[in-house]
Amino acid sequence: MPTDDAHTAFDLRSWASADGLRLTYRAYAAHAAGGGERLPVICLPGLTRNGRDFEDLAPHIAASGRRVLCPDLRGRGESDYARDPMTYQPPVYAQDLAGLLAAEKITRFIAVGTSLGGILTMMLAASQQGLVAGAVLNDIGPVIEAEGLARITDYVGQGRSYLTWMHAARGLRETMGEIYPDFAIEDWLRLAKRLMALGTGGRIAFDYDMKIAVPIEAAEDARDAAEAKARDEGAAPPPPAADLWPLFAALESVPLVVVHGATSDILSAQTAQAMAQRHPDCTLVTLPRVGHAPTLDEPEARAAIDGLLARLD
């Protein structure tokens, strides 16, 4: 349902995945003349996040004259949970998003991708030349740090719940205080309402299918088995992660903004600098005292995004 405020109003729409799921997205209409002719913006959330992550950024962009779409990936937010949890993987998400593009008749767009959303941005750019006209990669790059991956593996799929929103906010502060050390309690409440929802049992819980952890755990088990086999055979261990630099190269012909949390355990300063050096048209914004991932409500991040969009008029 649309919100009441005309400046933040959106329509909650849906499309069907190839395997029959109802997937949802927030559609913000352009609030300026000629907005229907300008490239739309698609905001793609992180692993355990949803379209609410962009509830401040999306209306800000729409006010400048672009329509904005904020999808909930399968298993998140208002979207259906997958019948097969092994479909909670990036190639399937990318296929789902191709269906959204077809439903909205979008042949070219500007992407804003946080973490997993940034990987999907790179995948979509690699899938079709010219599809992505410009991109914001929020605290993600071709090298994902092992420390951050371990932290994600530890918390994904843990079904914590809370009695009240204040309990939820304080719970987030306890577990994520190092990521956002300057947050006030109001900020934690806002983040809680982006990440969580009121469940049928009356408790507040994270707004995603806990089974998104299944493919991650399967990958961990497969890697442990491969490492054990390599040790037994005296062979070299498998590489730590897939090489994502070829995917990053798919963005080399479009303007790019890389937003980097200075204390991130996912995107290192070294990788962020390498991205800026390799890409011919990259703006690197490093946010002090922020970890993984920046909210994109930070003034420095917002200014960089505005600058990118102004170039793509």
As for how many domains the chain has, the answer is: 1
Query: Does residue 225 have a pLDDT over 50?
Result: yes
Residues in contact with 7: Cβ distance below 8 Å, sequence separation at least 6, in sequence order: 31, 59, 63
Is there a domain that residue 110 lies in?
yes
Quickly state the pLDDT bin for 34 (edges 50, 70, 90): low
**What was the pLDDT predicted at 199?**
86
Q: What is the pLDDT of residues 187-211, one digit of tens each?
A: 999 999 999 999 878 899 999 999 9
pLDDT exceeds cutoff 80 at 274: yes
Strand order in the sheet with 196-198: 161-162, 204-206, 196-198
Give the count of beta carbons closer than 10 Å to the beta carbon of residue 31. Answer: 17
Mean pLDDT, range 28-55, rounded to an integer: 89
Report pLDDT for 103. Answer: 97
pLDDT score of 311 more than 90: yes
Q: Would you say residue 2 lies in a domain?
A: no
At 136, the pLDDT band (50, 70, 90 cuts) reads: very high
Higher per-residue pLDDT: 130 or 223: 130
pLDDT recorded at residue 33: 57
- Locus of tokens 């200014």: 303
Q: What number of residues does the chain have?
A: 313
Q: Which residue has 């994520």 as its token pair?
A: 176
More confident residue, 36 or 312: 312
Over range 156-178, report the average pLDDT: 93
**φ, ψ dihedrals at 45, nearest 5°:** -85, 175
Average pLDDT of every residue of the chain: 92
Question: Region 97-102: what's the mean pLDDT?
Answer: 98
Question: Tell me, what's the pLDDT at 167?
Answer: 97
Asked whether residue 6 is assigned to any structural domain, the reply reads: no
DSSP symbol at 208: B
Residue whose token pair is 């990036």: 90
Above 70 in pLDDT, residue 1? no
Is 5 among the domain residues? no
Mean pLDDT on 1-14: 67
- At 232, the pLDDT band (50, 70, 90 cuts) reads confident
Q: What is the mean pLDDT of residues 168-184?
A: 97
Higher pLDDT: 156 or 203? It is 203
Strands lying side by side in the sheet with 41-44: 11-16, 22-28, 68-71, 41-44, 109-114, 132-138, 256-261, 282-287
Q: Would the pLDDT of 11 be above 50?
A: yes
Q: Identify the helix (H) or strand (E) that includes residue 32.
A: none
Phi, psi of 212 (to 5 degrees): -65, -15
pLDDT of residue 82: 98
| Domain annotation covers residue 246 | yes
Of 53, 96, 55, nearest in space to 74 by CA: 96
pLDDT at 99 over 60: yes
Q: Find the domain containing 200 and state its range.
A: 11-311
Nearest to 267 by CA among 147, 164, 165: 147
Strand locations in 167-274, DSSP E? 196-198, 204-206, 256-261
Domain presence at residue 122: yes
CATH number, position 59: 3.40.50.1820
| Digit-coded pLDDT (tens) for 279-293 | 999 999 999 999 999
Q: Establish if 231 belongs to a structural domain.
A: yes
pLDDT at res. 3: 40
Amino acid 222: pLDDT: 79
Work out the burial of residue 55: count CB atoms within 10 Å of its CB; fewer than 13 is exposed, 13-18 middle, 19 or more buried: buried
- Report if residue 1 sits inside a domain: no
Segment 63-77 mean pLDDT: 97
**What does the alpha-carbon distance between residue 298 and residue 56 come to, in Å, rounded to a whole number?**
11
Per cent of the chain over pLDDT 70 is 93
Q: 102 pLDDT exceeds 50?
A: yes
Query: What pLDDT, on the 0 to 100 scale, is given for residue 240?
Result: 67
User: Can the peptide bond before residue 16 be classed as cis, meaning omega within 30 degrees of 0?
Assistant: no
pLDDT for 2 beyond 50:
no
